């Protein structure tokens, strides 16, 4: 039998469990911490109701529940809420929800009358279930942290993505030079920071949204002619915006177009769009489980297990989380 927990000063005990949507990632995090993933039964009754039971004692333990609220979003969310409640009733000392992808994060404000602010509702539901702390990664909007009455640790995959493309530059994969392209003005700060890390130039696409999951690219600010263009964003969902932006950048004279994002949602016709697009390579992380090499081999997946494991360790040991990212985990 392997080690199921980490003890600190014979008074604190760390345990890691994972929900259905993040079982593989949870296992890698536990491996990084030098422990085994905790045993938890998660099953569904015939009518779709979810049942959760921890298979070992968690009384007095500092437990971390790894679960991205990815597709199917509502089932993943409900599963996490039930896991939190089960841990609360089992007398866990502290319950931390590790949500690499925070579902409903795009519904962070009212854009039209009679709309909900669902990202805040999710925060209230997590608190009502009994969570003590939330760890999440590359939120769509920074204000989501303010929707909680409990601590929220915000992590970022920017260092992982930046290191990947730095290695590509050292290998001279972009002899023509690289331009980092922001998909809209709202992501310009992130893209500028990313460009600075790579020693690259910055360009910005301007867009408008006539409907949800629809975007129209209006114009490009910056020069990409004769350069390799890297479109950077926090997520790729239906890929409509990404593919439209890539076409504009290619038409403006980019020699090749690449894309990078933390969260690869890939819903709807995303794979078909990416397959037919001018984008040559898409780099995402495993905050959401993605099939490596899909879309004709275009998709490459980088793991965030080290960052998440380091964050879990520091939270457990009451050490700084921002030091892991050199204070660069609040770039909005």
Cα–Cα nearest to 106, from 184, 16, 13, 12? 184
Residues 276-295 have pLDDT tens digits of: 999 999 999 999 998 776 77
Q: What pLDDT score was predicted for residue 31?
A: 97
Whether residue 189 lies in the annotated active site: no
Residue 106, Cβ density class (10 Å: 0-12 exposed, 13-18 middle, ≥19 buried) = middle
Residues 53-68 have pLDDT tens digits of: 999 999 999 999 999 9
Which of 189, 207, 225, 250 does the annotation list as catalytic?
207
Cα–Cα nearest to 147, from 122, 120, 127? 120
Q: Report which of residues 120 and 212 the model is more confident about.
A: 120
- Domain residue ranges in the chain: 6-156+305-325, 158-302
User: How far apart (Å, rounded) are the C-alpha atoms in residues 326 and 53?
Assistant: 38
Q: What is the pTM of this model?
A: 0.92
Q: Report which of residues 241 and 306 the model is more confident about.
A: 306
38-56 burial code (b ≥16 CB/10 A, e <16): bebebeeeeeeebebebee
Average pLDDT, the chain: 92
* 6-156+305-325: CATH number: 3.40.50.2020
Residues 28-45 have pLDDT tens digits of: 999 999 999 999 999 999
Q: Per-residue pLDDT for 328 more than 90?
A: no
Of all residues in the chain, what percent carry a pLDDT higher than 90? 80
Mean pLDDT across 300-307: 96
* Fold (topology level) of 158-302: Rossmann fold (3.40.50)
User: Do the domains 6-156+305-325 and 158-302 sit in the same CATH topology, yes or no?
Assistant: yes
User: How far apart (Å, rounded) are the C-alpha atoms in residues 332 and 330?
Assistant: 6
Residues 72-121 have pLDDT tens digits of: 999 999 999 999 999 999 999 999 999 999 999 999 999 899 999 999 99
């Amino acid at each position: 039998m392997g080690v199921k927990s980490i003890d600190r000063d014979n008074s604190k005990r760390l345990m890691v469990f994972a929900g259905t949507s993040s079982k593989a990632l949870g296992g890698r995090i536990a491996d990084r911490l030098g422990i085994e993933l905790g045993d938890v039964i998660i099953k569904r009754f015939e009518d779709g109701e979810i049942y959760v039971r921890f298979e070992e004692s968690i009384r007095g333990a500092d437990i971390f529940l790894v679960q991205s609220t990815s597709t199917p979003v509502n089932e993943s969310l409900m599963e996490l809420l039930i896991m939190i409640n089960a841990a609360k009733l089992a007398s866990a000392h502290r319950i931390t929800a590790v949500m690499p992808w925070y579902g409903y994060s795009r519904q962070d404000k009212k854009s039209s009358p009679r709309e909900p602010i669902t990202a805040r509702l999710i925060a209230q539901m997590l608190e009502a279930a009994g969570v003590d702390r939330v760890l999440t990664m590359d939120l769509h909007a920074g204000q989501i942290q303010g929707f909680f009455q409990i601590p929220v640790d915000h992590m970022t995959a920017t260092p992982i993505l930046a290191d990947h493309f730095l290695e590509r530059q050292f290998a001279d994969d972009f002899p023509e030079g690289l331009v980092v392209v922001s998909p809209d003005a709202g992501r310009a700060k992130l893209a500028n920071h990313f460009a600075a890390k790579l020693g690259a130039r910055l360009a910005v696409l301007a867009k408008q949204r006539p409907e949800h999951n629809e975007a129209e690219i209006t114009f490009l600010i910056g020069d990409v002619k004769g350069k390799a263009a890297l479109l950077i964003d926090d997520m790729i969902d239906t890929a409509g915006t990404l593919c439209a932006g890539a076409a504009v950048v290619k038409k403006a004279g980019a020699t090749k177009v690449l894309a990078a994002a933390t969260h690869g949602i890939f819903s709807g016709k995303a794979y078909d769009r990416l397959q037919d697009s001018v984008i040559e390579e898409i780099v995402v992380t495993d905050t959401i489980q993605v099939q490596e090499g899909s879309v004709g081999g275009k998709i490459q997946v980088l793991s965030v297990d080290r960052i998440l494991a380091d964050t879990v360790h520091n939270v457990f040991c009451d050490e700084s989380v921002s030091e892991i990212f050199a204070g660069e985990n609040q770039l909005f």
